[in-house]
Structure 1
Amino acid sequence: MSEIILSIKDLKVNYGGIEAVKGISFDVPKGDIVTLIGANGAGKSSTLRTIAGLVRPKGGAIEFQGENIIGKDAASIVKKGVTLVPEGRRIFPDLTVNENLRIGAYLRNDDISADLDWVYELFPRLKERSWQAGGTLSGGEQQMLAVGRALMSRPKLMMMDEPSLGLAPLIVRDIFSIIKEINKRGVTILLIEQNANMALSTAHMGYVLETGRITLSGPGKELLANEAVKAAYLGT
């Protein structure tokens, strides 16, 4: 049986008086790609932001490598090996590509040159534009920069919030092939994505969230063939 790197148990998250997440439980095995799919407002982003320490849950447990990380601040969680690629990329537009990447390693005090080389190997376009301001990059290049910046913290678990949002289909394919490559290098990935087809085709395991609850789960390929999933999320 696979080692579980992240375990979510009965997680509840409220925004004001609204229950965004209503007691969900799921595991992320080490070395896997796990995806959460669902419509807008299903609780996907709330789940990732809570794991990252940006939102305080109302109840439940979040265990990373066997330790409950609820109550830890975001920087401590990054130090433990959990990083978030946020929705909308959130790069620093006035800083260069190189500076944006170095900011990803701000909690490290070791040599980052090998990781910088790996990011530039994964994303040759970033290397070509390393002294260009982040804000002048295309949407796809900014997404690559957001992923590269997250990799600079040398994560064990990378969480990605809607990496394909607003990108052309060809660029989406590029991003997902990079996700597979990062995973092959040993990084576990928890992905939320509106492009259910790409997400389920890529993921080892998938969970369907509807209004704050998990309604379906199974291997990605199995959910891809599920009639209810096809009708609700795949347009077939």
Structure 2
Amino acid sequence: MGDLLTIENLTVSYGGIEAVKNVSLSVPEGEIVTLVGANGAGKSTVLKSAAGLVKPKSGCIFFKGQNIAAKPPHEIVKQGIALVPEGRRVFANLTVKENLKIGAYLRKDDLKESMQHIYSLFPRLKERRWQLSGTLSGGEQQMLALGRALMSRPELIMMDEPSLGLAPLIVKDIFDIIKEIRNEGITVLLIEQNANLALSCADTAYVLETGRLVKKGTGKALLRDESVKEAYLGKARQQKRSNKNGT
């Protein structure tokens, strides 16, 4: 299997400020790939560019060998890419089931099998399928956002901060689902502020700093990298020590 997504020399500007500067990376088919870095490093901009939500200043974005950099978002979804946005962004006044159907708005076939698959991944969504999405907990809304993206039957699913604001037990559930999705053959491109968690589950990892790509390696290798530990894993280690000391 080769690379499903390839980004070459991507530069993105907001006004006169370059948020992403000449970034090149690849996402091999069947892998979990993560981008880690501080807030404002340009991680979300890379995902939004691949989803067609932000137009690059320069560079190419290839999906299955075709340059999609100039395509609108609905065409990119149709080709097999889905984005789970930061902050979940469910339709609060619609039911869970209605939100899931919106994820399949480009499909013309019967949705029953896909809906049952989503309910098997997220039994809680089945229990609450007639509930207004705005009344769900944060964890349930994240499950719904992920389920909604899966309803388009993507080959590549991109996730922007799936653990943001969630309790640790819910985060574990979400990451178990991410691994299960990969095991089903869907490629995953992940942004996650919890670098320890992201690197632990990633096959390949990239580090972005102020819009530039500064490191690449396996998730396990970057977990052991001293500069990555110092910059992104220090808080996690301190928290573990605090928990052991009972503070």
TM-score (norm: length of structure 1): 0.99
Partner residue, 1:202: 201
Partner residue, 2:32: 33
- CA distance, structure 2, for counterparts of residue 114 and residue 209 of structure 1: 39
Partner residue, 2:244: none
Partner residue, 1:178: 177
Q: 1:144-187, CA deviations, whole angstroms, 9 ceiling, x for partnerless residues?
A: 00000000000000000000000111111110000000110010
- CA distance, structure 1, for counterparts of residue 163 and residue 206 of structure 2: 18
SS at the partner of 1:150? Answer: helix
SS at the partner of 2:94? Answer: coil
- CA distance, structure 2, for counterparts of residue 226 and residue 170 of structure 1: 27
Report the count of equivalent residues.
Answer: 235
Q: Does 1:105 align with 2:91?
A: no
SS at the partner of 1:70? Answer: coil
- CA distance, structure 1, for counterparts of residue 155 and residue 32 of structure 2: 12
Gaps of 5+ in 1: none
- CA distance, structure 1, for counterparts of residue 196 and residue 187 of structure 2: 20
Partner residue, 2:131: 132
Matches within 5 A, 1:70-89: 70-89=69-88
Q: Does 1:169 align with 2:165?
A: no
Gaps of 5+ in 2: 238-247
Partner residue, 1:228: 227
SS at the partner of 2:162? Answer: coil
Aligned residue type for 2:74: A
Aligned residue type for 1:199: A
Partner residue, 2:23: 24
Partner residue, 2:119: 120
Partner residue, 1:45: 44
Partner residue, 1:3: 2
Deviation, 1:70, is 1.1
Aligned residue type for 1:178: I
Which contiguous aligned blocks of 4+ residues in structure 1 show a shift greater than 4 angstroms?
none
Rg comparison, structure with higher value: 2
- CA distance, structure 2, for counterparts of residue 37 and residue 50 of structure 1: 17
Aligned residue type for 1:181: E
- CA distance, structure 2, for counterparts of residue 228 and residue 121 of structure 1: 41
TM-score (norm: length of structure 2): 0.94
Aligned residue type for 1:162: E
